[in-house]
Amino acid sequence: MMSVALDDALSLRSRGELVCARQQVAIAADLLEALSASLTSFCTAVQCRSRSISAIPAVRPLNSTFFRGNPARSAASWNEIIHHIRFRGRSRFFHKLRILSEMLRQLEEDFHEAAGDIAKGMDTQPIASWLTLDELHYDFNTCLRETEVMLKSFLRALPSEQLHGLAYDLDALPTAKPLRLKARLSGAIA
């Protein structure tokens, strides 16, 4: 839904419907915030559950060429370096989860800030702000896909008798904050 809201905002902006585009950006930011909270909580749950199993799945390092923004590329580059320094698969797995969690939080924060400036009409360079949102969304989506791969590999390694424990851990995750979907007034004259 978050991607759809951002796509709608970009379409509205290209048609010159700036007030509606700004409202869609605010909705996209709220949806991204909720998804980010769920994903970072998931990373935490997998880290906790992984400590009690012996067969941790092997992971590949994050590929910095899969990211567009400098902060995400930098974090992925560090993950690549650390991956080659750490010889044990267990520490590689935990480090990748930690990096993904931190990247998701940072991307959400940056997206929310940029979207807030656009939604309020406070961006000093509108074209750059919209391009930044697109870049942040791309990097967030890349982190989402990496998290999905981590989940699938973890589920393959998790003993079947521990599936109920993981389900319980995921159900016990803190719920995301309710979305702030409220009418936003603009400075536009009707």
38 belongs to a structural domain: yes
177 belongs to a structural domain: no
Domain around 16: 2-171
Side chain identity at residue 37, one-letter code: A
Per-residue pLDDT of the chain (190 residues; tens, 9 = 90+): 878 888 888 888 888 888 888 888 988 999 999 999 989 988 988 888 888 788 888 889 999 999 999 999 999 999 999 888 877 778 889 999 999 999 999 999 999 999 988 888 877 787 888 899 999 999 999 999 999 999 998 888 888 888 888 888 877 766 545 444 343 444 443 3
189 belongs to a structural domain: no
Question: What is residue 111's predicted lDDT score, i.e. its pLDDT?
Answer: 94
65 belongs to a structural domain: yes
Question: What is residue 103's predicted lDDT score, i.e. its pLDDT?
Answer: 95
184 belongs to a structural domain: no
164 belongs to a structural domain: yes
Question: What is residue 182's predicted lDDT score, i.e. its pLDDT?
Answer: 43
Domain count, the chain: 1
DSSP letter for each residue of the chain: -HHHHHHHHHHHHHTT-HHHHHHHHHHHHHHHHHHHHHHHHHHHHHHHHHTT-S-PPP-PPP-GGG--SHHHHHHHHHHHHHHHH---HHHHHHHHHHHHHHHHHHHHHHHHHHHHHHHHT--SSHHHHHHHHHHHHHHHHHHHHHHHHHHHHHHHHS-GGGHHHHHHHHHTSPPPPPP-------S---
Name all contacts of 83-87 with Cβ < 8 Å and 24+ positions apart: 83/59
89 belongs to a structural domain: yes
178 belongs to a structural domain: no
